[in-house]
């Protein structure tokens, strides 16, 4: 249906109710009209003939070019940077030759539609093809063997960088045989800067969002501070071989032999470095969870295999699901602490006022009464990653949003260890790489 837009003054986050009410009763900064009157009019005025057409805004012709005119490599690098087509770091220019080589990583045609969506902020229709993804992959420094992972990510329709004033972070987890086939690191330093495959897959996910309009500064991206995870996100592969439990994708209904990518969204990651040796793992986890909002009961724990095996062999957690259940049943916080979190007040309080349980019941509790914010254990994700040099872990508010099969995007016989030609040369016909 057609959308009508109006705007409030900012900031909104962390503002007291009196200020927010003042925003509503004050002026729309974009139009100068009284905001509450605009809201009432938007909800009650019939649609005009023009509004009923609900047409999306089409990008300017120069932005929809498939090829750019030939130029020097230096000039093209400057052009990409000036037009906001990069993450601020050097890229590999996506020439026709390089993109064609990248496309050898899949059996699908360059024009095949990978996904489509509607960017609300700019009212743009977005259609992404295999060729668009391949161009972004080249820019990030990926090779053809990594293209199926990126096609699966693109098909999910979830950008790494969110159009928001808040500093969102994203995570990407790969499971299945493709982890080893393309050389991903799931062991020592898996979340560090040491593995080029992890790095370029995560970076390409961010570049896709930038190129396709999800992260245009002062148009769709308004985060006050931003998030340094956005450079290549938390891109990792699960250490299935050293984990004592079923792999993450198997717990989500996939077969062990399937290759799957799972996406997560949140804000915060807390490391366990500096934990007290005299407190149990469970007590430490509860202390760390105090710092997270427990939005929609979501949390993600990334455990080193040493800790995972300890939990199974010495503390009786035979499955990852049992850990999630234990957290759900044993972690409690005062109702006042839960509701006084700004994110909870903004996103969950409306559910409570609409009668959605258990939030409606929690809203009636006195501030000192304890509640179980992680009331849905299936929303607590347990992942095993690490090189077994220390039994550490990370706690995050990351919410698992989607898992997608990678196999449908692969060649019939997956290619191994191909690399793109990244040598310096005159860049002829570089791709813009944006969605059409």
- Average pLDDT rounded to a whole number, residues 407-418: 64
- 19-23, 27-31, 76-80 — most confident range: 76-80
Using one digit for the tens of pLDDT, what is the confidence trace for 338-389?
999 988 998 999 999 999 999 999 999 999 999 999 999 999 999 999 999 9
Q: Percentage helix, strand, coil, to 5, in the chain?
A: 35, 15, 50
Using one digit for the tens of pLDDT, what is the confidence trace for 76-91?
999 999 988 999 899 9
CA 323/CA 425 separation, integer angstroms: 54
- Average pLDDT rounded to a whole number, residues 184-200: 93
Using one digit for the tens of pLDDT, what is the confidence trace for 91-133?
999 999 999 999 999 999 999 999 877 665 556 677 899 999 9
pLDDT of res. 29: 83
Using one digit for the tens of pLDDT, what is the confidence trace for 225-281?
767 777 889 999 999 999 999 999 999 999 999 999 999 999 999 998 766 677 888
Q: Does residue 35 contact residue 6 with C-beta atoms inside 8 Å?
A: yes
Q: Does residue 435 contact residue 213 with C-beta atoms inside 8 Å?
A: yes
Q: Where are the domains of the chain?
A: 1-55, 60-257+414-436
CA 406/CA 260 separation, integer angstroms: 5
pLDDT of res. 323: 97
CA 257/CA 406 separation, integer angstroms: 11
pLDDT of res. 196: 94
| Residue 255 in tokens | 């077969």
CA 287/CA 266 separation, integer angstroms: 19
Residues ≥6 apart with Cβ < 8 Å to 354: 360
pLDDT of res. 231: 81
| Residue 358 in tokens | 């258990």
pLDDT of res. 2: 65
Closest residue by Cα to residue 25 from 41, 40, 36, 38: 36
CA 436/CA 433 separation, integer angstroms: 9
**pLDDT beyond 60 at 31:** yes
pLDDT of res. 160: 82
Q: What are the backbone dihedrals phi and psi of residue 194, each rounded to the nearest 5 degrees, phi first? A: -95, -15
Q: Does residue 153 contact residue 263 with C-beta atoms inside 8 Å?
A: yes
Q: What are the backbone dihedrals phi and psi of residue 206, each rounded to the nearest 5 degrees, phi first? A: -65, -45
Q: Does residue 281 contact residue 311 with C-beta atoms inside 8 Å?
A: yes
Closest residue by Cα to residue 370 from 313, 290, 262, 280: 290
Using one digit for the tens of pLDDT, what is the confidence trace for 271-311?
987 666 778 888 889 999 999 999 999 999 999 999 999 99
pLDDT of res. 426: 27
Stated as kind and residue range, the H or E segment containing 153 is helix 147-155
Q: Between residues 57 and 383, which one has the greater pLDDT?
A: 383
CA 85/CA 428 separation, integer angstroms: 18
Q: Can you point out the beta strands (E) in 195-354?
A: 234-237, 260-266, 269-271, 299-303, 333-334
- 12-26, 391-405, 407-421 — most confident range: 391-405
| Residue 275 in tokens | 């934990």
**Percent of the chain surpassing pLDDT 70:** 84
């Amino acid at each position: 249906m057609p959308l009508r837009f109006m705007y409030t003054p900012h900031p909104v986050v962390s503002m007291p109710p009196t200020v927010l009410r003042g925003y509503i009763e004050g002026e729309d900064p974009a139009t100068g009209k009284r905001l509450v009157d605009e809201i009432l009019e938007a909800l009650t005025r019939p649609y005009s003939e023009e509004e009923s057409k609900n047409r999306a805004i089409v990008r300017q012709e120069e932005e929809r070019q498939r090829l750019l005119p030939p130029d020097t490599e230096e000039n093209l690098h400057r052009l990409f940077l000036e037009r906001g087509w990069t993450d601020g770091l050097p890229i590999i220019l996506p020439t026709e030759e390089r993109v064609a080589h990248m496309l050898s990583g899949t059996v699908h045609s360059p024009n095949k539609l990978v996904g489509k969506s509607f960017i609300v902020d700019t009212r743009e229709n977005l259609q992404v093809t295999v060729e668009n993804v391949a161009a972004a992959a080249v820019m990030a420094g990926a090779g053809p063997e990594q293209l199926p992972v990126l096609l699966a990510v693109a098909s999910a329709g979830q950008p790494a960088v969110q159009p928001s004033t808040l500093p969102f972070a994203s995570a990407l987890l790969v499971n299945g045989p493709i982890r080893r086939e393309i050389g991903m690191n799931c062991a020592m330093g898996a979340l560090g800067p040491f593995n080029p495959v992890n790095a370029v897959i995560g970076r390409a996910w961010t570049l896709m969002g930038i190129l396709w309009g999800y992260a245009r500064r002062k148009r769709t991206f308004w985060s006050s501070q931003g998030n340094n995870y956005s450079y290549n996100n938390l891109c990792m592969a699960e250490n299935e071989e050293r984990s004592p439990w079923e792999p993450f994708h198997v717990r989500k209904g996939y077969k062990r032999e399937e290759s799957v990518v799972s996406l997560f969204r949140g804000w915060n990651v807390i490391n366990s470095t500096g934990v007290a040796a005299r407190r149990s793992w469970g007590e430490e986890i509860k202390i760390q969870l105090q710092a997270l909002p427990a939005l929609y009961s979501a949390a993600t724990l990334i455990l080193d295999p040493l800790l995972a095996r300890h939990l199974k062999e010495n503390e009786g957690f035979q499955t990852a699901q049992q850990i999630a259940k234990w957290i759900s049943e044993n972690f409690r916080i005062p109702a006042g602490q839960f509701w006084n979190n700004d994110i909870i007040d903004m996103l969950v309080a409306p559910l409570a006022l609409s009668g959605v349980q258990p939030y409606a019941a929690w809203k009636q509790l006195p501030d000192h009464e304890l509640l179980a914010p992680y009331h849905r254990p299936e929303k607590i994700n347990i992942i095993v990653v690490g090189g077994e040099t220390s039994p550490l872990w990370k706690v995050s508010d990351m919410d698992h949003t989607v898992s997608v099969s990678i196999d449908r995007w692969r060649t019939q016989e997956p290619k191994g260890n191909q690399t793109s030609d990244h040598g310096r040369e005159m860049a002829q016909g570089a791709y813009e790489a944006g969605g059409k």
